[in-house]
């Protein structure tokens, strides 16, 4: 055995992880793309290196999860708006409005009240029932 050079160093080598698909046996044939995958996407992917294909796969998975999460949040928000809107809330009053009581000339009234920017908006709802 020959030794080349007299300087020895202790370096740690780092290896990138390799993903191996264990769901399907290895084949010597190229994979068949999904039928609904556009031809231009297939052609583009066929020109990529294995490393770039793994990057694309990782990004595509992250993007799919992001879009699914956004769709779930939007759906939940729509359900919350539908569930939280009181039946007697007028169309021109936002869901975030609360009911407040104002006293005018010794009479008490319910008002819807909400904030728009720096201003507080109000809309008449009904008189307060003295039995309440």
pLDDT in tens, 8-41: 555 666 666 666 666 666 778 889 999 999 999 9
Same domain, 132 and 93: yes
Residue 27, in any domain of the structure: no
Domain boundary among 84, 100, 121: 84
Same domain, 99 and 80: no
Tally Cβ neighbours within 10 Å of residue 38.
9
96 lies in which domain range? 88-132
The structure's pTM equals 0.42
Same domain, 71 and 92: no
Residue 14, in any domain of the structure: no
Q: What is the pLDDT of residue 50?
A: 93
Number of independent structural domains in the chain: 2
Same domain, 96 and 120: yes
Strand order in the sheet with 119-127: 98-104, 107-116, 119-127
pLDDT in tens, 62-107: 998 888 888 888 887 776 655 566 677 777 888 888 888 888 888 8
Same domain, 94 and 79: no
């Amino acid at each position: 055995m020959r030794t080349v050079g007299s300087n020895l160093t202790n370096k740690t080598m780092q290896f990138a992880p390799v993903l191996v698909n264990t769901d399907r046996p290895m084949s010597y044939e190229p994979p068949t793309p999904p039928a609904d995958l556009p031809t231009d996407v297939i052609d583009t992917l066929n020109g990529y290196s294995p490393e770039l294909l793994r990057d694309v796969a990782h990004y595509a998975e992250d993007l799919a999860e992001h879009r699914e999460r956004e769709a779930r949040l939007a759906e939940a928000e729509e359900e919350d708006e539908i569930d939280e809107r009181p039946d007697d809330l007028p169309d021109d009053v936002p869901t975030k409005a609360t009911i407040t009581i104002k006293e005018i000339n010794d009479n008490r009234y319910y008002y819807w009240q909400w904030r728009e920017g720096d201003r507080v908006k109000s809309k008449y709802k009904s008189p307060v029932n003295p039995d309440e």
